[in-house]
Homo-oligomer: A and B are copies of this chain.
Amino acid sequence: MGMDGPIGDFLKTLHAEIGAITDGAPASYIPELAKADPNLCGIAVATVDGAVHVAGDWDHPFTIQSISKAFVYGHALEVHGRERVLRQVGVEPSGDSFNSIALDTVNKRPFNPMVNSGAIATAELIAGTDAGERQANLATLLARFAGRPLPLDEATYLSEKATGHRNRAIAWMMLSAGMIERDPEDVLDLYFRQCSYNVTARDLAIMGATLANDGVNPITGDRALDAEYCPDVLTVMLSCGMYNYAGQWAYEVGLPAKSGVSGGILAVIPGQAAIAIFSPPIDANGNSARALAACKRIAERFGLHLFRTHPDPRGVIRYELDGRQVRSKRTRSLRELEILFRAGPRIRLIAVQDALYFGSTDRLLRRAAELAEQADYLILDMRRVSRADAASRALLAQFHARMQAAGDRLIFANLDADGPLGDLGLGAGTIFESRDRALEYCEDRLIAEILPGGEVCEPRFADFELFRGLDTADLARLEAIAARLSFAAGATIAREGAEGDRFFVLVSGHASVSAEVATPTGLKTVRFSVLGAGQSFGERALIDGGPRTADVIADGPVELLAFRVADVEALAAGHPAILIRLLANMAGELSERLQVANAEIRALER
């Protein structure tokens, strides 16, 4: 077995297809760019988990040009904050071409940081107290995004510096209008440098994947930009990144993007990946003809347009149950079972699934409020929640507080502080590690309401289920070989895999039959059943001498009777009816526990 992923395959086919496009020509206004080979064509897709798919001339270096504007804008926001940067440069698409000299005279700033005027104003904001420091910070910034130091293409830098007269005019115009403050030649030098760093399509894809990944480079793991400012950069790329083609681009491709006159286009798929394509021939708008065509095809093929996929909050409720349809694994007396049957609908449970965000949380809490009308206890089982944003966490905490204030109980099951919901800061008695424990808590409280004193549970020897059907004489014989043992809460009575030469009958208290299981978030104890007074365990010692099949832990103080297998067998030699009854009763109990387990499997399969 062995093959590339289908994305890699697709890029190779795409590369062959767009190679046939012969529109456009390499940029001519910078002499160094005009020398580019028009046949070059490289494609790279980098994902937020650090995979890079490539095709064609993906490792051919070219100058980054205007694509640098997006990264330097992010840097300016991080260094100076939104307010200061917005004073210096707007975020409004101008409808003009990239090298327009038009400025926003009302707000006294360039329209946006993606046109040359705005990028020059942004370049003035690069951190540093002198030219050397600013150059070093610029180089560091781009290296963080790319995951390697990028080489400066001296020839292009000098060519731009020598011939960039239009940009020079723009800079002087801005100085005259008070939109920049430093010497225009000083600012322009930085701007020409930032455009002249060499990248490959692979570098560029990684730089974009860093934006898609909330500012963290997916290869190196280094942070290149504060996560707070990534949405700002992406927004301005979407509205202004493709110059006077921005509207059409948003319409057809629908991804934040930035193009450069050297023939590169970088498109970002937030949270997922970035696409970088390089091919020198550019069209009248200054966008690479092949890169444009390739981006359209990728976006269409994979349904990447911003508005072509969206969440569906309707699936957030997987199912609902009430306390009659689902019960904790705690063994209950007949009296308690009767209470739970009658009052069961006062406990409601919602199994929540998938991601929690505005729409899905609203839907969940609307339904929760409805169910709360009919119930005393509402359990939200969060086991299948995969993600939760800050707003949904706040909404859940707020709803919980309102429920408590109203005297009602909202209870969370499987709400792990290390899980997707984090720590909601709720009070005790509200969060349980499992659905089983949450149900047990609600049941206990319902029962306590109706049976305030609780039940005296210790049965007489003759009442133990294991001894059902035995006559008085046989009961006396068994009692004679029984040893009485006590365990404190939390004590391990039997351990999975251990050899056993005895079996046990619970006299008082409860014991959990459980085992540890590895889950994606670590080891978790799964409780299979809870044994109560009169129930037995460790039967395999008598049946076939096999080892313990699970842990048995005392839930509270536990009293039990222990029977040595050898003693019982000796007794049975003269009194076979004792062993027949014991085995039949054990088999009956195992059969019942198997039924409980099968019911649990049914519930989990839902």
Contacts and interface: CB of A to CB of B under 8 A. Distances in A.
Interface string A556-582: 000000000000000010001101100
Interface string A128-169: 000000000000000000000000000000000000000000
Given A311-B271, A365-B5, A606 B358 contact: no
Give the number of copies in the complex. Answer: 2
Contact of A357 (B93, B309, B318, B544): B309
A598 B369 contact: no
Contacts of A269: 358-359
A334 interface: no
Contacts of A598: 515, 528, 549-550, 597
Contacts of A424: none
Interface in A206-224: 212
A584 interface: yes
Contact of A399 (B6, B248, B362, B584): B6
A170 to B, nearest CB: 17
A257 interface: no
A282 to B, nearest CB: 17
Interface residues of A, number: 130
A36 B606 CA distance: 55
A121 interface: no
A353 interface: yes
B1 A373 contact: yes
A539 B406 contact: no
A460 interface: no
Interface string A329-359: 0000000000000000000000001110111
Nearest to A244: B92
A178 interface: no
A602 B519 CA distance: 9
A246 B239 contact: yes
Contacts of A549: 591, 594-595, 598
A543 interface: yes
Given A312-B387, A384-B384, A604 B606 contact: no
A302 B588 contact: no
Contact of A272 (B240, B359, B402, B594): B359
A507 interface: no
Contact of A587 (B49, B301, B310, B587): B587
A486 interface: no
A251 interface: yes
Contacts of A272: 310-311, 313, 357-359
B302 A391 contact: yes
A7 interface: yes
Contact of A402 (B6, B90, B517, B604): B6
Contacts of A601: 526, 528, 597, 600-601, 604
Contacts of A287: none
Interface in A500-544: 515, 517-520, 524, 526, 528, 539-540, 542-544
A303 interface: yes
A3 B406 contact: yes
A273 interface: yes
A7 B362 contact: yes
A67 interface: no
A204 interface: no
A200 interface: no
A306 interface: yes
13 contacts: A1-B373, A95-B96, A231-B254, A269-B359, A271-B312, A272-B310, A309-B389, A354-B354, A524-B605, A543-B588, A576-B576, A583-B584, A590-B590
